[in-house]
Amino acid sequence: MPSLWTPEGEHGVPTAPSQADSAPETPAPPTQAPSEEQLAAERAALERELAAAPAEDVVANHCFGLFQLAALYLTQNPPDLAKAKLTIDALGAVVDTLGNRLGESAPTLQGALAQIRLAYVELSEPATAPDPTAASAGPDGETGKVP
C-alpha cells in the first residue's frame, strides 16, 4: 500500500480499485459551476479551518514545501543552483530564526535544512578529487616517477 509522509507521521494511501473490481463507469452528469455564494461559503470554511490550526503546524507545512522546492531545483538536469539557493536561504531564515518555536517539527526541519544545504554544497562544488594515477611533483618539480 502506498503511503504519504506528513509532519504528523506516515499515512497509508488507499489505491483505486482495479477495473475488474469496479462496476462499469457511467458518465458523470454535467455539473454547473459553483455560485459566488457557494465559493464564498467554501472559502469561509477553509479560513475557519486554517485559523483553528496551530500556527507552528501551518508554518512547518510551508517549510516542508520550501524544502521540496529546493530539492526539485537541485534535481534538475542541470541543477538550478540560483533558485535552489534562494529557496534554501528562505527555509533557513525561517527555521534558524524560529528554532523550537516550530514545535514538534523543529528537529525534523533542522535536519532537513542541514541535508538540503549539504546537497547544495555538494552540487555546487566542482569535483576536485585528486587523480590517483597522477604523481605529485616534489619541491624541485620532479615527479619521482622513473622515466
Is position 103 within any domain? yes
- Write the CB contacts of 10 (distance below 8 Å, at least 6 apart in sequence): 3, 4
Is position 137 within any domain? no
Domain that holds residue 122: 54-126
Is position 106 within any domain? yes
Tens digits of pLDDT across the chain (147 residues): 454 445 555 555 444 444 455 555 666 666 788 899 999 999 999 999 999 999 999 999 999 999 999 999 999 999 999 999 999 999 999 999 999 999 999 999 999 999 999 999 999 987 665 555 655 555 555 555 544
Question: How far apart (Å, rounded) are the C-alpha atoms in residues 104 and 65?
Answer: 17
Is position 116 within any domain? yes
Is position 37 within any domain? no
Is position 13 within any domain? no
Is position 95 within any domain? yes
pTM of the complete model: 0.61
Is position 32 within any domain? no
Count up the domains in the chain and report the number: 1
Checking DSSP bridges between strand 3-6 and strand 9-12, what pairing results, if any? antiparallel
Contact 74, 116 (CB under 8 A): yes
Measured between its terminal Cα atoms, the distance across the chain in Å is 64
